[in-house]
Amino acid sequence: MGFLSKLLFKNKTQSIVSGNSDSVLIKGDELKRSVDEVFGRSLFVRLVDSGSCNACENELAALSNPYYDLERFGIKFVASPKHADVIMVTGCITRNMLNPLLKTYENIPAPKFVITAGDCPETGGPFKDSYSVCGPVSKYLTVAMNIKGCPPEPEAIISGFLKFMDMLKTS
């Protein structure tokens, strides 16, 4: 049980993870303030993978690891579209995923925003010329923001959220 007790007695995230970059914390604090201001405490995000290579999902999942711990900045990935403020889209939009994507979008109560993560939803990425791909997302939905990258690194996604909040504040 040494393993568990060693972890238990380190009570701060920062002390479990070594070499956490300050930039995440600085951006995160700013993000938290903006989310508080604009959304009143928290921003809920529903993810739809519309046909990715799965690296983008791995990076989104990494946002919950102790190095980033996105929820402490007031952003949460939620299970139901009914709870969401934002739909985040990854992947190139396959013909098979178009309908599930649009249905998920419909089920998000207004006001709602579309954010894309990765190059695929914005341009179709390497798959754009395929018979079974019908993206980009902007053909079907109004996109508030694209977070670029292949895949975007976790810190870039945090910066993306920050930029999105700034956009809302100024608009």
Partner 1 sequence: MDKILINKHIIESNDFVNSADNLKGSGKYLLGIAAADERSLNSKFGIRYFFGGNNSIDEYSVKVDESFQSISRVCPAAKMYEREIYDLFGLTPDGHPDLRPLMLYPENWNSSLHPLRKDYNNSIPEMKRYGEYKFKKVLGEGIFEVLVGPVHAGIIEPGHFRFSLAGEPVLQLEIRHFWKHRGIEKVCEGKDFKEALDLVAKISGDNNVNITISYLEAVESILNLEVTERAKYIRVILAELERIWNYVRDVAWIFMDIGFALPAQSLFALQEELMRLNKSLTGHRFLFNVLTVGGVNFNLDSSKLKAIDNMINKVEKNIKECEAFIVNSSTVLDRLEFTGKINKKTADELSLCGISARASGLPRDSRIEYPYLIYDKFNLKPVLLESGDVFARTALRIKEIYVSKKIIGDLLFNLPKGDIAVAYENRPEAYKYAAGNSETPRGNAFFYVMADNDGTIFRLKYIDPSFRIWPSIQYGVLGNIIADFPLINKSLNLSYSGNDM
Contact residues for ligand SF4, defined by CB under 6 A? 52-53, 55-56, 90-91, 118-120, 125, 150-151
Q: Measured in whole angstroms, how far is the alpha carbon of residue 15 from the centre of its chain?
A: 25
Which C-beta is closer to partner 1: that of 83 or that of 169? 83
Amino acid at 150: C
How far is it, in rounded angstroms, from Cα 163 to Cα 67?
Answer: 21
Which C-beta is closer to ligand SF4: that of 35 or that of 120? 120
Query: Measuring CA to CA, which residue among 31, 52, 35 is closest to residue 157?
Result: 31
Choose the contact partner of 26 out of ligand SF4, partner 1, none; CB within 5 to 8 A by kind. none
By the criterion CB under 8 A, which residues form the site for partner 1? 1-4, 6-8, 16-18, 47-62, 64-67, 77, 79-80, 91-92, 94-100, 104, 125-127, 129-134, 150-151, 153
- Phi/psi zone of residue 125: left (φ > 0), alpha (ψ -120 to 50 degrees), beta? left
Which C-beta is closer to ligand SF4: that of 16 or that of 150? 150
Residue 12 has φ and ψ, to the nearest 5°, of -110, 135
The CB-of-24 to partner 1 minimum distance in angstroms stands at: 11
